[in-house]
């Protein structure tokens, strides 16, 4: 019999300002990261005020992690130290593996109604892959499959598999799934997940009901801008929409169980590795692969 996962905890995202002055909601970060291994950070950046996002994220380094940017509204123009540049449009995903080191910038731009919005997730890399060659996966909206389930739920599959349909992102170290799910009012979404993997849902709109932390089937409720962290035991996630449709990101991955040394945009395993990274950045020897 498939075991349904219970809710471990629920919390609301908090306002933050990052980059050169981008207003966003910090869903989780440094303090919560130990409970979300292998994930480190999730930001929700949505605004209709250009003053809150046009300053963007000027040139900065990354090492030891992957950054996953998923756009819902507006665009982000990006460039990097390897000469890559382009634009991420609504529905597109940029899966950037910083590996041994990359320096890049991300500059949000609004749509014709000045709206800009999306999500950025940071995923950790294991020690053996910290210094791998940097790489990009630029995933266009047209290549992301959308599956409608018998319940009426619709799922955009960025990474992972739903009902034998797989997303375009493959060969990722932490074996992640990244789904964008919309469930009609009163309907229930069920999804098989690997036992022991970290799993969380971030509610974008509506109200989600789930099995309570004590196994109480009356359920916990989560509202827009709330994160739901599930227990690691169990093979099925079950989320029911309340009296209106609910939309959420459902993300899971294999925990690394390794020490984390983290400062700013660089995440390593030891303080010495972290010190070396910042020394190399100051000395101009940070980039290992061009």
Dihedrals phi, psi of 66, to nearest 5 degrees = -120, 140
Domain ranges across the chain: 7-271
pLDDT of 290 reads: 59
Level-2 CATH architecture, domain 7-271: Sandwich (2.60)
Residue 38 contacts by C-beta under 8 Å, 6 or more apart in sequence? Answer: 123, 124, 174, 198, 253, 254, 255, 256
pLDDT number for residue 217:
61
pTM of the model: 0.96
d(CA 120, CA 98): 14
Q: Up-side HSE of residue 45: CA atoms within 13 Å toward CB?
A: 32
Average pLDDT, consecutive stretches of 10 residues, N- to C-terminus, the chain (290 residues): 92 97 97 97 97 96 96 94 89 95 94 96 97 92 97 97 94 88 97 96 97 70 97 96 96 97 97 97 87
- pLDDT in the model for residue 216: 66
- Cβ-contact 126, 173 below 8 angstroms: yes
- Spatial CA neighbour of 88 closest among 117, 63, 60, 122: 117
Contact 39, 253 (CB under 8 A): yes
- The 10 Å CB-count burial string (b at 16+, else e) for 37-69 is bbbbbbbbbbbeeeebbbbbbeebbbbbbbbbb
């Amino acid at each position: 019999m498939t075991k349904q996962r219970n809710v471990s905890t629920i919390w609301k995202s908090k306002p933050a300002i990052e980059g050169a002055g981008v207003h966003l909601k910090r869903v989780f970060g440094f303090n919560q990261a130990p409970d979300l291994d292998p994930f480190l950070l999730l930001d929700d950046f949505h605004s209709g005020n250009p003053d809150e996002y046009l300053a963007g994220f000027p040139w900065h380094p990354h090492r030891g992690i992957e950054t996953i940017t998923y756009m819902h509204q507006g665009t982000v123009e990006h460039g990097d130290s390897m000469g890559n540049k382009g634009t991420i449009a609504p529905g597109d995903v940029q899966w950037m593996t910083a590996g041994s080191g990359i320096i890049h910038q991300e500059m949000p731009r609004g749509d014709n109604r000045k709206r800009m919005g999306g999500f950025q997730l940071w995923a950790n890399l294991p020690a053996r892959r910290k210094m791998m060659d940097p790489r990009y996966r630029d995933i266009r909206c047209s290549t992301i499959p959308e599956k409608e389930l018998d319940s009426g739920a619709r799922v955009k599959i960025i990474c992972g598999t739903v009902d034998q349909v797989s997303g375009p992102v493959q060969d990722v170290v932490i074996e992640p799934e990244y789904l964008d799910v919309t469930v009609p009012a009163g309907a229930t979404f069920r999804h098989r997940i690997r036992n022991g993997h970290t799993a969380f849902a971030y509610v974008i709109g509506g109200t989600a009901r789930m099995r309570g932390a004590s196994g109480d089937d009356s359920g916990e409720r989560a509202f827009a801008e709330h994160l739901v962290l599930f227990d690691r035991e169990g093979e099925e996630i079950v989320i029911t929409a309340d009296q209106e449709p609910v939309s959420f990101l459902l993300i899971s991955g294999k925990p690394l169980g390794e020490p984390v040394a983290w400062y700013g945009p660089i995440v390593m395993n030891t303080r010495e590795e972290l010190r070396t990274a910042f020394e190399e950045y100051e000395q101009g020897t940070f980039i290992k692969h061009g």
